[in-house]
């Protein structure tokens, strides 16, 4: 089943394919697996970057091209972090971060730089739509054309907290505190609070309430009562305050060559960066001469003038800092953010055409849609831990509720929630966390610098946010290395 493409690829320990009765295979073939460098332990690096996701790759490329001596230490056996493209059964499957858009400024620049192209995911504009309603007991079949005007109207009502579609609260989505005092008020609100506020508009259309529930919790992958409303408004503003444009920007176009091709292109464009894979770090020590010593799980020590820590917010609490970080910083790290849910792909025995399905909480699948033209591949998403994607029968049962007649050939995916180096999927803050946590998380404690998609300003929680954060931290590290010790973000 493995193709000739695999000659350029190797197997990572991440991910699985489940063939039903024919068993489960752990590990997937991907071009994101790449050789480690032979690192001389006594080298004094300018910058040691922890993590080879897009934040780390951006920082490594930019710093190394400024002739900084850079080491990347990565826990996994591959690059790309919360993204990797698996090549299986003559298909490219994206296991994590997938969809990109020309209005995502940082990612689009990289697509242009490396001459990559985009391909459309079909199901976002599906003509056949399944809605699982009334606590999963009623299946309604309709079309996207029928649903869209109602969904757009409901989304407009939901987001219209100020009579101008949220523009006064989120006027500049790349500046989270652009409307300072107003942000304080709305940051306390959960997505559920806002749904409750407008609930009377659904009095004559209960189905629409359930569809809104499914759509909104698909975005946060978390119970709406635990998902911050401000992050919804940020997405909404980034989507130009309009539902169809938000769909297009978040789930319609993916990189034809695969997201791992972009990660590899960035790595290959670094100048003399050393990369150490399969090397989890466990502690970060600031030395008396204001250098940094990084200690790995297998006891190796690496020293640098600075370090950039790109470890995801939900697993950063596993790292020990000596001396400890500022109390407030450690507090917000310990709080974490929403953990997200599941993403998986299934290959069907028979094509089903262009299809999409929604099922609100507590259905194990919140949203699913076909990815390819014929409709033989479905991408599914589930909220929190409601679906164990490694359980073939559980996925089959949940999907059959939306599509009773389909037969699954295999399931392919990666369980990001139980991944010790991720602890969740994409970033979404809980109520109150933007105003109380974001600035603290972004604050550096030189020579320690922090960067991550989870703490970006604009497309936080997206690949674009990782690139933004990677680029921003490069400016701060350069200022520091050039002997400016006061960092103003």
Ligand X SMILES: Cc1cc2nc3c(=O)[nH]c(=O)nc-3n(C[C@H](O)[C@H](O)[C@H](O)COP(=O)(O)OP(=O)(O)OC[C@H]3O[C@@H](n4cnc5c(N)ncnc54)[C@H](O)[C@@H]3O)c2cc1C
Q: Which residues bind ligand X (CB under 6 A)?
A: 50-56, 73-76, 81-83, 96-99, 280-281, 310-312, 315, 343, 416, 421-422, 425-426, 452-453, 461-466
C-beta of 96: minimal distance to ligand X in Å?
4
Which one, 16 or 462, has the nearer CB to ligand X? 462
Distance CA 371, CA 19 (A): 20
Q: Is 75 annotated as belonging to a binding site?
A: yes
Nearer to ligand X among residue 28 and residue 311 (C-beta): 311
**Cβ at position 269, least distance to ligand X in Å:** 16
Closest CB 427 distance from ligand X, rounded Å: 6
382-90-466-311 Cα dihedral, nearest 10 degrees = 70
Nearer to ligand X, 50 or 151 (CB): 50
55 among annotated binding-site residues: yes
Q: Is 177 annotated as a binding residue?
A: no
Q: Which is nearer to ligand X, 195 or 346 (CB)?
A: 346
Q: Residue 322 region, left (φ>0) first, then alpha (ψ -120 to 50), else beta?
A: beta
Q: Is the dihedral angle over the CA atoms 48, 53, 59, 64 positive or is it negative?
A: positive
- Which residue pairs, CB below 8 angstroms and at least 24 apart, start in 236-242? 236/155, 236/159, 236/165, 236/166, 236/170, 237/166, 237/167, 237/170, 237/171, 237/172, 237/173, 238/103, 238/173, 238/458, 238/459, 240/103, 241/159, 241/165, 241/166, 241/167, 242/152
Residue 170 or 463 having the CB closest to ligand X: 463
Q: How far is the CB of 455 from ligand X (least distance, A)?
A: 8
Looking up tokens 């107003």, which residue turns up? 182
Residue 110 among known ligand-binding residues: no
Residue 227 or 452: which CB sits closer to ligand X? 452
**Closest CB 35 distance from ligand X, rounded Å:** 16
As given in the structure block, the two tokens for residue 189 are 């609100």
* Least distance to ligand X, CB of residue 240, Å: 17
111-122: string of b/e by CB count within 10 Å (b at 16+)? beebebebeebb
Distance of CA 360 to the CA centre of its chain: 21
Strand, helix or coil for residue 117:
coil
Question: Residue 158 gets which letter from DSSP?
Answer: H
Q: Which parts are annotated binding residues for FAD?
A: 55, 74-75
């Amino acid at each position: 089943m493995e193709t000739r493409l695999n000659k350029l690829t190797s197997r990572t320990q991440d991910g699985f394919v489940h063939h039903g009765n024919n068993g489960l295979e752990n590990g997937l073939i991907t071009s994101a697996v790449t050789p480690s460098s032979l690192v001389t332990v006594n080298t004094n690096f300018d910058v040691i970057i922890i993590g080879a996701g897009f934040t780390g790759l951006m920082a490594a490329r930019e710093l190394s091209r400024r002739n900084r001596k850079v080491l990347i230490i990565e826990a996994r056996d591959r690059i790309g972090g919360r993204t990797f493209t698996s090549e299986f059964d003559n298909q490219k499957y994206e296991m994590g971060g997938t969809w990109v858009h020309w209005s995502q400024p940082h990612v689009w620049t990289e697509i242009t730089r490396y001459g990559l192209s985009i391909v459309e995911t079909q199901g976002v504009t599906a003509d056949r739509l399944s809605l699982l309603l009334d606590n999963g007991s009623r299946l309604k079949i309709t079309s996207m054309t029928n649903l869209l005007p109602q969904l757009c109207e409901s989304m407009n009502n939901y987001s219209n907290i100020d009579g101008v579609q949220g523009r006064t609260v989120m006027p500049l989505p790349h500046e989270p505190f652009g409307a300072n005092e107003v942000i304080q008020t709305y940051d306390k609100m959960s997505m559920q609070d806002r749904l409750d506020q407008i609930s009377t508009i659904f009095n004559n259309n209960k189905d629409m309430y359930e569809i809104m529930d499914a759509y909104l919790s698909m975005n946060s992958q978390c119970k709406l009562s635990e998902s911050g409303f401000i992050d919804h408004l940020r997405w909404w503003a980034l989507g130009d305050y309009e539902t169809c444009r938000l769909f297009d920007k978040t789930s319609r176009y993916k990189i034809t060559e695969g997201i791992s091709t972009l990660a590899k292109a960035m790595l290959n464009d670094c100048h003399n960066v050393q990369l150490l894979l399969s090397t989890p770090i466990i502690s970060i020590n600031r030395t008396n001469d204001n250098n940094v010593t990084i200690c790995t799980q297998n006891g190796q020590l690496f020293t640098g003038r600075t370090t950039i820590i790109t470890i995801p917010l939900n697993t950063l609490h596993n790292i020990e800092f000596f001396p400890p970080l500022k109390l407030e910083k450690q507090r917000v790290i310990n709080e974490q953010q929403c953990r997200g849910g599941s993403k998986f792909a299934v290959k069907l025995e028979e094509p089903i055409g262009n299809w999409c399905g929604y099922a609100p909480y507590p259905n194990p699948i919140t949203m699913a849609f076909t990815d390819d033209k014929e409709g033989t591949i479905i991408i599914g998403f589930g909220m929190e831990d409601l679906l164990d994607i490694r359980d073939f029968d559980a996925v089959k049962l949940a999907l059959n509720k939306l599509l009773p007649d389909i037969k699954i050939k295999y399931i392919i995916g990666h369980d990001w929630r139980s991944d010790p180096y991720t602890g969740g999927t994409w970033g979404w803050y809980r109520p109150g966390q933007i105003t109380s946590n974001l600035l603290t998380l972004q604050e550096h404690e030189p020579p320690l610098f922090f960067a991550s998609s989870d703490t970006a300003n604009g497309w936080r929680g997206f690949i674009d946010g990782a690139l933004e954060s990677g680029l921003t931290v490069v400016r701060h590290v350069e200022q520091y290395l050039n002997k400016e010790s006061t960092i103003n973000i």
